[in-house]
Amino acid sequence: MTSRKSDVPIPKLAGVCGWPIHHSLSPVLHNYWLKAAGISGAYIPFAVRPDNAVAAFQSLKYTSISGVNVTLPLKRQAFLAADDHTPDALKLGVSNCLFKRDGKLIGHNTDLEGFATPLLSKIAASELSQSSVLLIGAGGASRAVIGALLSLNVPEIKIANRTDSKAESLAESVNLPSLYAVPWESRNAAVASSQVIINASSAGMSGYSDLDLDLETARPGTLVYDLIYTPRRTGLLKEAERRGCETLGGLSMLIEQARPSFRHFFGEAPPKDLDPTETLYAALKSGVR
């Protein structure tokens, strides 16, 4: 009796790594897309200790896992673990995505694309190339924001951070005259001359105080982009709406940075015609991950 090969595809496995990782919405998002696209696979969270992260990531080459997303505080370790890097990962020196190609572990970063795609849905590249941007925050998210803004030819980027030395250090690391630090005490004065205001800090996140930024001098139509998505409408976005500003929340970035990862992990792009926003917010509201 001859055996018949099954026509059922072998399920693909991917996931997200962090420490801690219970808060991640990525499994909800990727599994939503898998189900919608009818792809046989699963996406699960992996808790990875920072002191063992490089070795853990390198072991991916010897497993059936097709790739992982990487969240804080492991993005630098993911970069170090990779055999090769994409240009976007090299720009930032960190990786939020690892996938396998020709037996090698590739370090990638989707934050540049994830940040820029929602931004360009609100303001044209031609307008950005004539805009001044005020960026709040000097951490890893700010580096991705700066990389995207520079690639879009933004002529002026002002960085303000509660600790002035961190903003100054970030500006010095880029070393461009069009990008400079603004003292924290001068942040409100910088609002009036900014066409785009971006919050890349943790201020305003659930459990944290609202961002201490006065939008009184913001011109109507100014775009306020808050990378935070919990809560859905931060205090900053509420105040921006009250002032007649355009607003953009952080969930758009989460969704867009996940799209290229999904393609690397599962071999096809996620469905473009299905918006996962309400599914993600329902998960946040219920506490289900």
For the chain, where are the E strands, in sequence order?
Answer: 12-18, 41-47, 65-70, 84-85, 97-101, 104-108, 132-136, 156-160, 179-181, 196-199, 223-226, 246-248
Residues 119 and 224 in one domain: yes
Measured CA to CA, the distance from residue 157 to residue 174 in angstroms comes to 11
* Cβ–Cβ under 8 Å, residues 30 and 258: yes
Residues 242 and 125 in one domain: yes
**Same domain for 150 and 212?**
yes
In a domain, 4, yes or no: no
Domains of the chain: total: 2
Euclidean distance between CA atoms 34 and 162, whole angstroms: 41
Assigned domain for 5 exists: no
Q: Same domain for 144 and 214?
A: yes
Per the structure, the complete domain to which residue 73 belongs is given by: 12-109+253-286
Cα 88 from Cα 75, distance rounded (Å): 13
pLDDT over 70, % of the chain: 96
pLDDT tier for residue 273 given thresholds of 50, 70 and 90: confident
- Please give the mean pLDDT across all residues of the chain: 92
- Domain co-membership, 125 together with 230: yes
pLDDT of residue 92: 87
Residues 240 and 133 in one domain: yes
| pTM, full prediction | 0.85
Specify the pLDDT at position 56. 97
The domain that holds 216 is classified in CATH as 3.40.50.720
Instruction: Indicate whether 179 belongs to any domain.
Output: yes
DSSP code, position 190: H
Sign of the torsion angle spanned by Cα atoms 214, 153, 70, 260: positive
pLDDT reported for residue 281: 87
- Decide if 221 is inside a domain: yes
Segment among 107-111, 128-132, 139-143, 220-224 with least mean pLDDT: 139-143
Mark whether 161 and 102 lie in a shared domain.
no
Q: Tell whether 124 and 190 lie within a shared domain.
A: yes
Looking at the chain, the whole-number percentage of residues with pLDDT higher than 90 is 81
Same-domain check for residues 244 and 123: yes
Query: 105 φ, ψ to 5°?
Result: -95, 120
Q: Which of 75, 158, 238, 285 is catalytic?
A: 75
Q: What is the CATH number of the domain that holds 95?
A: 3.40.50.10860
pLDDT for residue 10 is more than 80:
no
pLDDT of residue 7: 61
| Catalytic (active site) residue 75 | yes
In a domain, 2, yes or no: no
- Inside any domain, residue 7: no
Average pLDDT of 31-59?
95
Residue 3 domain flag:
no
Tell whether the model's pLDDT for residue 9 goes beyond 70: no
The answer to whether position 168 is within a domain reads yes
Are residues 179 and 268 both part of a single domain?
no
Please report which confidence band the pLDDT of residue 32 belongs to, taking 50, 70 and 90 as the band edges. Answer: very high
Regarding whether 243 and 275 lie in a shared domain, the answer is no
Regarding whether 17 and 58 lie in a shared domain, the answer is yes
